[in-house]
Amino acid sequence: MSDVDVLAHGLWGGVLFGRRTRWQWRGAFLLGTAPDLLAFGPFYFAQWGNTNWVMFPPYVHQSYNVTHSFVVWGLLTAAIWYARGKFPWILGAWGLHILFDIPLHALSFFPTPYLWPLTTPLVNGLRWAQPVVMIPNYIALVIAYALMIGLRNRRERAELRHKTVGANDAIR
C-alpha cells in the first residue's frame, strides 16, 4: 500500500464525521480506513512473515472495486438510512475515502473504480506518498484537529459557565 495513506484516511474520517464523542471518532476513523483494510488486509495478513511476496491476487482487486465504489457506498448508506430513519453521517468517512482516492491514485496502482460495477472513467492521479501531496495533507490535518479541539474546548467552557450560572441562581 505504498501509494496510499490509510492513516490519513482514518484521521480525515475522524475529524469530519466523528466529532461528537470519542466512540463516534473511533467509528469514523475505522470507517475512513475500512475500504483499504477490507481490500488489502486479508492479503497482507496472509503474507505476514513470508519473504516471498506475491502479486496481488484477483480477490484483492475485486474487493478493492467493491470497497471503493460510490455505487456500493450509496446503496449501503441508503439502506441504513431507510432502516434507521435518519441519515448515517458517520458513513461519510467511507465516502470521503473514495473521494480522496479518485485524484490520489495513479493508473499504475489501484486506480479508483468509483462507479463500480458501472463503467468508470479512471483518473491518473497523483500518489499519496509524493511530498507535494503528503506534506500539505498532514498540515491540513493538524489545522483541522486544532480547530476541532479548540471548538470542543470552547463549547465545554460555555457549558461549564452555563452550569455555574444556573447553580449560582439556584443558591440565591
pLDDT value at residue 170: 56
The pLDDT, as a whole number, for residue 7 is 94
Provide the 3-class DSSP secondary structure of residue 121.
coil
Q: Which residue has the cell 476541532?
A: 148
Name, in order, each residue with C-beta under 8 angstroms of 58's C-beta and a sequence gap of 6 or more: none
State whether the Cα torsion 46-47-52-53 is positive or negative.
positive
**Cα 65 from Cα 63, distance rounded (Å):** 5
Helix then strand then coil, in percent of the chain rounded to 5, is: 70, 0, 30
Is 134 inside any structural domain? no
Residues of the chain with pLDDT under 50: 1-3
The letter for the amino acid at 149 is I
Q: Is 151 exposed, middle or buried, given 0-12, 13-18 or 19+ CB atoms closer than 10 A?
A: exposed
Per-residue pLDDT at 163: 74
Residue 158 lies in a domain: no
**Distance (Å, whole) CA 90 – CA 24:** 8
Domain limits for position 90: 6-129
Residue 39, all three cell numbers: 481490500
Q: Is residue 153 one of the residues assigned to a domain? A: no
Residue among 107, 96, 111 at smallest CA distance from 144 = 96
The total number of structural domains in the chain stands at: 1
* Residue 152: inside a domain: no
Whether 146 is covered by a domain: the verdict is no
Residue 132 per-residue DSSP state: H
Residue 165 counted as domain residue: no
* pTM for this model (two decimals): 0.85
In a domain, 151, yes or no: no
Please indicate, yes or no, if residue 159 is contained in any of the structural domains.
no
